[in-house]
Structure 1
Amino acid sequence: MEIINFTPLSATIGGALIGLSAALLLLAKGRIAGISGIAGGIIFPEKGDVVWRVIFIVGLILGGFLYQLLSSDSSEGLFKGVEHIQPVVGTPLLILGGLFVGIGTTIGTGCTSGHGICGLARRSPRSLVATLTFMATGFITVFIVKQLLGA
């Protein structure tokens, strides 16, 4: 297996920022940084509980745009040599994938950020099982796709 474009410094900084944001949300609002739960709270809001959720989701989206803006082969510093993220499928498949993720997070009562980051940090047995299931499913999916596509 060949690892392409692994940048340990930016990965470490990104991971630290995710952990910091999860800790700050827990300290400031007493809430777990599970993205599916945060987004779901916008769709099915509780009284006075929408503004921080919208700000959080907008921040996630703006973070992606900021990364795209700062990353290119000609960038200097932290993002030097990091390529733009290019989807390999069309918009309809991306939307379908997003819907499947939403259905899966509902069935699994949480997402990878809620279970994998926050739940494991809180030593939740349920989150451990969920995270192991996410990982196993990801490994199996990659194996199947590689076999079907010969990639």
Structure 2
Amino acid sequence: MTPYLFPLFGGMLLGLSAVLLLLLNGRIAGISGILGRLLGGHDMAPNAAFIAGLLAGPLLYAAAFGRMPAMTVSASWPIVLLAGLLVGIGTRLGSGCTSGHGILGLARFSKRSFAATAVFLATGIVTATAMGILQ
């Protein structure tokens, strides 16, 4: 099996879940919005179910393949926490996260989502390039 099949299937499942959430609940599958509504006490059951499904993914993988998915984090905890904080700030400034803008926003031809996704990609490229140069 090639190393691209699992990411391909994962992307297909993510797209399917986003489409089903939109069709069945009329909601955009933006993880930051779902988590924000859950923490704010709004629409508890569907938002909790969505987050539980995200958290159950690695457990389902382990049940199917007998091991947890391979994952390597080479950054220190302070860097990981800083990165998470910056992502949270960017999510607020951009009125959504990569999942909301990049999956459903682009599919709906949202100009704001095209702009946000372009900024996400450009920032990622600059950051990855800078980190490669600095190491």
TM-score of the superposed pair, with normalisation by structure 1: 0.79
Per the alignment, residue 101 of structure 2 pairs with 115
1:29-73 CA-partner distances (Å, limit 9, x unpaired): 100000000001012233xx111111111111111343456568x
Deviation of 1:89 (Å):
2.5
Q: Percent identity?
A: 47
Deviation of 1:95 (Å):
3.0
Decide whether aligned partners of structure 1 residues 109 and 147 sit closer, same or farther in structure 2, where only a CA change above 3 A counts: same
Per the alignment, residue 88 of structure 2 pairs with 102
Structure 1 vs Structure 2 CA RMSD: 2.2
1:77-97 CA-partner distances (Å, limit 9, x unpaired): xxxxx9611221244433332
Unaligned 5+ segments in structure 2 are: none
The structure richer in helix per residue is 2
Taking the aligned partners of 2:75 and 2:61, their CA distance within structure 1 comes to 20
1:1-151 matched pairs, under 5 angstroms: 7-46=3-42, 49-67=43-61, 84-149=70-135
Unaligned 5+ segments in structure 1 are: 1-5, 76-81
TM-score of the superposed pair, with normalisation by structure 2: 0.87
Aligned length: 134
What amino acid sits opposite 1:33 in the alignment? A
Taking the aligned partners of 1:144 and 1:45, their CA distance within structure 2 comes to 40
